[in-house]
Structure 1
Amino acid sequence: MPRPSPADKRKTFRELHQRGCFVIPNPWNIGSARYLQGLGFKALATTSSGYAHSLGLADGAITFDMALAHCRELAEAADVPVNADFENGYADDPEEVAENVRLCVDTGVAGLSIEDFNGNEADPLYDFDLAVKRVRAAREAIDKSGTGVVFTARTEGFIHGRPDLDETIRRLKAFVDAGADCLYAPGIKTREQIEAVCKAVSPKAVNFLNSGAFGFTVAEIGAMGVRRISVGGTMARVAMHAFIASARAIAEQGKFDSFAGVISNAELNAFFSDDVKKRSS
């Protein structure tokens, strides 16, 4: 059976946003992407923080060229749609954002997101009008590509010290008018916040970042109106947390107890060997 083409994956990804609620976990390398795919997840998304940390860098330190290469790597490795965490488009100017979005689309991703965080924690969000122009420019670039890539517009106030729900909704509604397919306000976490955002932009899809133990199940989040649930860099941090705890126990206590019960080399070999056979058949 031939592997799905980028066009196939883009069509599938768009259909996933039309109804129901799905989880889009965030791998940080090819191995984690293929394992998640093997578990049956219908789509995946890159994580800027998870990828950066795997390279020994801080979140936000990935260069534009590195981001493109990573998007291409995961899009080619996965048989399911991959959404790109494209941060702020790696530019401030709308025309530059549009050009960078064009290059991101060329990597084969099925979707991408653009955020309104400008990199300045003292005044973290792009001016409202500029933020809208940037979204509109990204939309136009995707339309010109003719690819059908799903476009997600994000507003970052809740994770950058500006937890203003009214302003968040104002921006998201403007992003809808500017052409976003999916809306995303990372950092909202209460039922009231989630439902307010979903209601404000309905019938457009909403992505909810479940980066903590908020106590909601997938079914409960879906019932609030969310179509897509991502986890950001949390799964990458779970892996890093286990690694750090194990390393500390050895370094500080001379104990190897953390090795008990871990997945075996043989199990991983079997999984990835089967995965290769499936993709080559």
Structure 2
Amino acid sequence: MNSDHRERAERFVELHREGCFLLPNAWDVGSARVLEAVGFPAVATTSAGVAFSLGRPDHDFHDEKGPEGRVDRDTMMRRIGEIAGELTVPLSADLEDGFGEAPETVAATIALTLAAGAAGGNIEDFTGDRARPLYEESLSVDRIRAARAAVDTAGDPFVLVGRTDVLLVGGPLDEAVRRANAYLAAGADCAFVPGAADAGTIGTLVRELDGPLNVVMGLTGNALSLDDLRELGVRRVTVGGSIARAMYRHLLDSARELARTGTFSYAEDQISQTDLNDLFRRS
């Protein structure tokens, strides 16, 4: 890790010490630069947005043929490296399940992520297998422990996030608390529990977890604001693939207008060429 990346990574670690901050999710250099330009202190990637930008499905439940079409690790690392190399703020990477079940695979993924210039990354326990939607808890802990060891071996600042998808697959809150605390005990710096979207659930997690909590907003236009989440004690707020999905909604609506009516009203709210050039031009 070069000196610039180290300084950014140190800043990213400090963001997790206290308070609450919003960490929006980008999918390519352009989207990341837009988020950087409006003043966010750090940016994250979204595996969904990266997959969609490549015309691929996101990591999700798969059939008996396996996860066909899923973005592979090398492709994801290239995208992470491209984004990290163009930002002046820290980048955190959505690493899905670490691109493999074995703890050794997860450790290798973390090492590659550090080499790509990221200042943090998530490892989740979702498998994509409907018969076994989550990795067994003991294995999940070993995977986080292996990720922590890879960070420690590198010796670079890095925020390791342990993500549990218990709530997303219909599991109980007490299991989400237990798993998140186990991941924190195994070396995660922050716990991430997607699916926690109401004040009661989030408040319980903040009280019961032995470390900082990340929640994801924007999945359904949730009524809770950043100020509400700060009051509840949340440390970090991400938005997942919601910005990317909003962009693709506009793209689809624009395409349908062109195909069905041959009109061009979609262009009324576009950003000007000059404004985009100015935004992306390095001073």
TM-score range for the pair, normalised by the shorter chain length: over 0.9
Q: Which amino acid aligns with 1:268?
A: L
Q: Which amino acid aligns with 1:127?
A: E
Q: May I ask how many residue pairs the two structures share in their alignment?
A: 271
CA–CA distance in 2 between the matches of 1:40 and 1:271? 12
Q: Which residue of 1 aligns with 2:162?
A: 153
SS at match of 2:213: strand
Q: Which amino acid aligns with 1:194?
A: I
- The match for 1:249 among 239, 249, 257 is 257
SS at match of 1:100: helix
**How far is the alpha carbon of 1:151 from its aligned partner?**
0.4
CA–CA distance in 2 between the matches of 1:11 and 1:212? 33
**How far is the alpha carbon of 1:232 from its aligned partner?**
0.5
Q: Which residue of 2 aligns with 1:235?
A: 243
Q: Which residue of 2 aligns with 1:45?
A: 44
Equivalent residues of 2:191, 2:214 under 8 A apart: yes
**How far is the alpha carbon of 1:4 from its aligned partner?**
7.0
TM-score (norm 1): 0.93
Equivalent residues of 1:155, 1:172 under 8 A apart: yes
**How far is the alpha carbon of 1:156 from its aligned partner?**
0.9
**How far is the alpha carbon of 1:163 from its aligned partner?**
3.3
CA–CA distance in 1 between the matches of 2:268 and 2:105? 51
Q: Which residue of 2 aligns with 1:54?
A: 53
Q: Which residue of 1 aligns with 2:212?
A: 205
SS at match of 1:83: strand
Equivalent residues of 2:198, 2:224 under 8 A apart: no
Query: 1:208-229: per-residue Cα shift (whole Å, max 9, x none)?
Result: 1002211111111111111111
Equivalent residues of 1:206, 1:227 under 8 A apart: yes
SS at match of 2:127: coil
- The match for 2:145 among 125, 132, 136 is 136
CA–CA distance in 1 between the matches of 2:28 and 2:244? 10
**How far is the alpha carbon of 1:239 from its aligned partner?**
0.6
Please, which runs of 5 or more residues in structure 1 have no aligned partner?
none
> Following TM superposition, where does structure 1 have runs of at least 4 consecutive aligned residues deviating by more than 4 angstroms?
none
SS at match of 2:129: coil
**How far is the alpha carbon of 1:69 from its aligned partner?**
0.7
SS at match of 1:130: helix
Q: Which amino acid aligns with 2:264?
A: F
SS at match of 2:139: helix
Please, which runs of 5 or more residues in structure 2 have no aligned partner?
60-69
Aligned ranges 1:113-132 → 2 under 5 Å: 113-132=122-141
CA–CA distance in 1 between the matches of 2:13 and 2:261? 51
